Amino acid sequence: MAKKWVAGYDAGEAIAAALDSNSRGMSAILNFLGEDTTDAKIVDQTVREYLSLMDLIGKRQVRGCVSVKPTQLGLAIDYDMCLQNFKRLTARAKELDQFMWIDMESVKFTEDTIAIYLELYKQYDMTGVAIQSYLRRSASDLLHIAEHGGKVRLVKGAYHEPEEHAFSTKEEVDANYVKLMRMLFESGSFFAIATHDSNMIEEAIRLSNDSTKEFEFQLLMGIRDELKNELTTKEFAVAEYIPYGSQWLPYSVRRIRERKRNLLLLARSLIQQ
């Protein structure tokens, strides 16, 4: 288990990590690991896992919510299957008065993910969706979501995409991140700035000085804990993204792409299996 980034194998360990986040002044965003699911039985098991997790969040009085990948709920199998499964989760979130985030995956799922999100948003407005600054289409997507009053988590993106769809240099990705962030401060409703990049965070703080927009910073479990403490000390809202489950390898590989020095940490985790 890549323990630096993953809470454990089961929901109990995830809830314990979430309560620890709460004790350090942060809310928690829980994700049951898994993606690109093509087995309908596994999809159904995943839906039941999330329903149980949401119940646990309420029962244990965790200050937090879940975040779900569309391909976990069947998007790689059938659009309508995924939509109906999300509606089940949204109904439970509404019943429990919990927020729910939708993660963004590779570009081949972007269009459908946004369509599903906007359909769910009609049912329950305490939902949000991730938008990736490395995609060329994201400014248009953000405007489309904003027109419907939707809520956005702004991330850089960590999937390999062809250059026709994605910016290829860090400078381009960063410039687009700043552009999208400014758009959120100008026209967004509640939104999240999800990054570990100090330059992006400093720009967000600067923009917030001239804005009354409600937003939060979101950072991954196990990365830049000192920054999380600094932000909470300054009384910014901070949420920690906490994944759990046995399907930890793809998630960990993406963390390595973001920060090469994480390779040694993953190697140690593999040796300890």
What's the confidence (pLDDT) of residue 251? Answer: 60
Strands 100-102 and 64-68: parallel
Task: Yes or no: say if 122 and 90 are a contact pair by the CB < 8 Å rule.
Answer: no
pTM of the model: 0.91
Kindly state the average pLDDT of the residues 209-215.
93
Angle among Cα 205, 211, 214 to the nearest 5 degrees reads 80
Task: Yes or no: say if 146 and 187 are a contact pair by the CB < 8 Å rule.
Answer: yes
Residues forming beta bridges with residue 75, ordered by sequence position? none
Question: Confidence class of residue 2 from pLDDT cuts 50, 70 and 90?
Answer: low
| Confidence check: pLDDT of 268 > 60 | no
Chain centroid to Cα 117, Å, comes to 14
Give the SS3 label for residue 221: coil
The pLDDT tens digits of the residues spanning 228-266 come to 999 999 999 999 999 999 876 666 565 555 555 444 444
Residues 54 and 146: their CA atoms lie apart, in Å, by 27
Average predicted confidence (pLDDT) for the chain: 91
The pLDDT tens digits of the residues spanning 98-119 come to 999 999 999 999 999 999 999 9
Domains and CATH numbers, the chain: 11-271 (3.20.20.220)
Q: How many CA atoms lie within 13 A of 123 on its CB side?
A: 20
| Confidence check: pLDDT of 124 > 70 | yes
The pLDDT tens digits of the residues spanning 21-39 come to 999 999 999 999 999 999 9
The pLDDT tens digits of the residues spanning 47-83 come to 999 999 999 999 999 999 999 999 999 999 999 999 9
Q: Which residue has the tokens 């949401």?
A: 54
Task: Yes or no: say if 14 and 55 are a contact pair by the CB < 8 Å rule.
Answer: no
The torsion angle over the Cα atoms of residues 151, 141, 175 and 170, rounded to 10 degrees, is 100
- Residues marked as catalytic: 103, 153
Give the DSSP H/E element, type plus range, for residue 194.
strand 191-194
What's the confidence (pLDDT) of residue 249? Answer: 63
What's the confidence (pLDDT) of residue 256? Answer: 58
- H helix intervals, the chain: 11-23, 40-59, 79-96, 110-123, 138-147, 170-187, 198-208, 225-233, 249-258, 262-271
Task: Yes or no: say if 28 and 21 are a contact pair by the CB < 8 Å rule.
Answer: yes
The pLDDT tens digits of the residues spanning 172-198 come to 999 999 999 999 999 868 999 999 999
What's the confidence (pLDDT) of residue 132? Answer: 97
Give the C-alpha distances (Å, rounded to integers) separating 25 from 10, 15, 37, 55, 233. 23, 15, 34, 22, 9
Specify the higher pLDDT residue, 222 or 1: 222
